[in-house]
Amino acid sequence: MNWTDLQKTAAAVADRPILDLFDAERAESFSVEAGDLLFDYSKTNLDAETRQGLLDMAEAADWTGRRDAMFDGAPINETEGRAVLHTALRNLDARPVTVDGTDVMPEVLGTLGRMEGFAQAVREGDYTGQGGRITDVVNIGIGGSDLGPAMAVQALSPYQDGPRCHFVSNVDGAQIADTLRGLDPETTLVIVASKTFTTIETMTNAATAKAWMGEQVRDPAGQFAALSSALDKTNQWGIDESRVFGFADWVGGRYSVWGPIGLSLMIAVGPEAFRAFLSGGQAMDTHFRSAEPLDNMPLMLALVGIWHNQGCGHATRAVLPYEQRLARLPAYLQQLEMESNGKRVAMDGQELPVDSGPVVWGEPGTNGQHAFYQLIHQGTRVVPCEFMVGAESHEPDLAHQHRLLVANALAQAEALLRGRSLDEARALLEGKFEGEELERQARHRVFPGNRPSTMLVYPQLTPFVLGQIVALYEHRVFVEGALLGLNSFDQWGVELGKELAKALEPVLAGEVSAEDKDASTRRLVDHVRARRD
């Protein structure tokens, strides 16, 4: 099968009722188990033949060869000439991983050990601020240096027994002002998280935090830690080497929560829970490397994604965790998926013959149900939904609420599948309306149904399970990128805006003329300046 065949197949079966595909086996044969996760994709319009076609496409794209090259440290990030080895950060067995002839594992595990030492010192009060024990940690970073730890700290809040963690990412001074207000600089640790240590948002916020701390603390740099691969720059910042945790350039920003960038998470939940998170990721790596294609969860998740986006033409994908603590997961996955696969040029420099990765968005259920599910059920566009839900919560006393939550997740998927026909809608309204009015009213209550969704079920949101889920999605992105022939590990598309913002700042300050700007930008600059000056 090629892209054209895939699209033709999708068009031919678009109106086929998914419900008709269910035979005695489908619920089982269109699902995959990995460890204690279950991924059910039976409520999609995929049949065995098309699935086989997709598997053939994946084989033709040499997904296994590319996967092995990644794990083996080959420079698969070709546009930046780098290996892609975030998996080494969770390689707790220390299986040798070589980059340019050197095993990177001793250094990776050495850094993990140093992080653990520091995290414990903070948690146990051996490392203190000027005012004593650290009560609050402020992680300053953006993109991958923020979303991973921010998402995971919230996800694992039942395990949090360390200091409170706060996350500042936006260059908008409102965020840092709101965060620092109410914190005691004498008992606050600031972590500056930036792979490059040049990102303007992070360095600006870090300077603001340092000034805030300097108003009260004699040695503000003494209450700073740095997470970066630019050790020369952290040095210039005056942060003592004992609180600097480095990582190599083969850890991409959006894949970096497993290493030093996860320090705030480790301080929050402790080294043991952090290791459990790593083990979850490692378990998914082992599964990804060894499971047969049909049993391979990241592969099947990716193929369902390709089917919906490049095959059926559904441009967006909703991620709908029925787990309030995964509220930041959609944002995390937005970066992971859209920064990785939102590219129109393939590795060979040619334009893609099909669409790039989808727009990813979402909110936790049940909140989303009362906001945008209207469109998902009755809008004119089809939005494939990825539901996720835990069998168990962390609130045993509120088991009835959890049952309601799970019932809602399953009900939404069922509603999308079944819909409600005009006859059913009419029957509901009989006696209330009649004739023309009955017809009109009934039409508003029709649900077309036949809308695809998948369900990921996990036992409980533990550190291990979270690690599995995050690694599952990383590998899904990898496989989708491999099929599209993309480099999923660069992000040139973020550069132009950064350059222009740098040039516009002095224009807004009135130091440089706006004359070389387009008319719209010139007018907006004038408008803002007139209202500000």
Q: How far is CA 218 from CA 71, 130, 225, 237, in A?
A: 46, 8, 16, 16
The residue among 36 and 490 lying less far from ligand F6P, judged by its C-beta, is: 490
Binding ligand F6P (rule: CB under 6 A), the pick from 43, 82, 123, 254 is: 254
Q: Identify which of residues 171 and 525 has a Cβ nearer to ligand F6P in the complex.
A: 171
Closest approach of ligand F6P to the CB of residue 199, in Å? 3
And the tokens for 264? 């705030």
Residue selected from 123, 195, 243, 476 as contacting ligand F6P according to rule CB under 6 A: 195
* Residue whose CB is less far from ligand F6P, 142 or 417: 142
Torsions phi, psi for 464 (to 5 deg): -65, -45
- Rounded-to-integer distance, Cα 320 and Cα 161, Å: 28
Residue pair 463/280 in contact (Cβ under 8 Å)? The answer is yes
Q: Which is nearer to ligand F6P, 179 or 202 (CB)?
A: 202
Contact with ligand F6P (CB under 6 A) among 128, 196, 279, 460? 196
Q: Which of 351, 370, 495, 499 is catalytic?
A: 370
Q: How many CA atoms lie within 13 A of 312 on its CB side?
A: 26
Please say which residue, 253 or 463, places its beta carbon nearer to ligand F6P. Answer: 253
The question of whether 363 is a catalytic residue gets the answer: no
Q: What tokens were used for 337?
A: 């998926």
User: Does residue 143 interact with ligand F6P by CB under 6 A?
Assistant: yes
Q: Is the Cβ–Cβ distance between 28 and 41 less than 8 Å?
A: no
Coil, strand or helix: which one is 58? helix
CA distance 183 to 187: 8
- In terms of CB distance, is 196 or 521 closer to ligand F6P? 196
Q: Which of 339, 386, 474, 480 is catalytic?
A: 339
**Known catalytic residue at 86:** no
**Helix residue ranges, H only, 82-170:** 105-124, 147-155
Nearer to ligand F6P, 260 or 311 (CB): 260
Residue type, 415: A
- Beta-carbon count within 10 A of 373 CB: 22
Cβ-based neighbours of 418, under 8 Å, separated by 6 or more: 19, 447, 449
Contact 202, 230 (CB under 8 A): no
Pick the binder of ligand F6P from 144, 162, 330, 467 (CB under 6 A).
Answer: 144
Q: Which listed residue (194, 296, 309, 366) binds ligand F6P by CB under 6 A?
A: 194
Least distance (Å) between residue 33 CB and ligand F6P: 32
Binding to ligand F6P, residues 324-343 (CB under 6 A): 339
Q: Does position 149 bind ligand F6P by CB under 6 A? A: no
Query: Does residue 202 belong to the site contacting ligand F6P (CB under 6 A)?
Result: yes
CB 142 within 8 A of CB 206: no
Strands in 132-240 per DSSP E: 132-133, 136-140, 164-168, 188-193, 224-228
Interface segment toward ligand F6P; rule CB under 6 A; list 37-45, 142-150, 387-395, 457-465 = 142-150
Question: With binding defined as CB under 6 A, does residue 402 bind ligand F6P?
Answer: no
Q: What's the token pair of residue 505?
A: 């700042």
Q: CB of residue 301 vs ligand F6P: minimum separation in angstroms?
A: 23
Main-chain phi, psi angles of 113, to 5 degrees: -60, -40
Task: Considering only residues 446 through 505, tell me which ones interact with ligand F6P, judged by CB under 6 A.
Answer: 491, 494
Which listed range, 141-149, 325-333, 392-400, 504-512, lies at the site for ligand F6P (CB under 6 A)? Answer: 141-149
Report in angstroms how near the CB of residue 152 gets to ligand F6P at its nearest: 15
The question of whether 339 is a catalytic residue gets the answer yes
**How far apart are alpha carbons 87 and 84 in whole angstroms?**
8
Could you list the active site residues? 339, 370, 498
Residues that bind ligand F6P (CB under 6 A): 141-145, 194-196, 199, 202, 253-254, 339, 491, 494
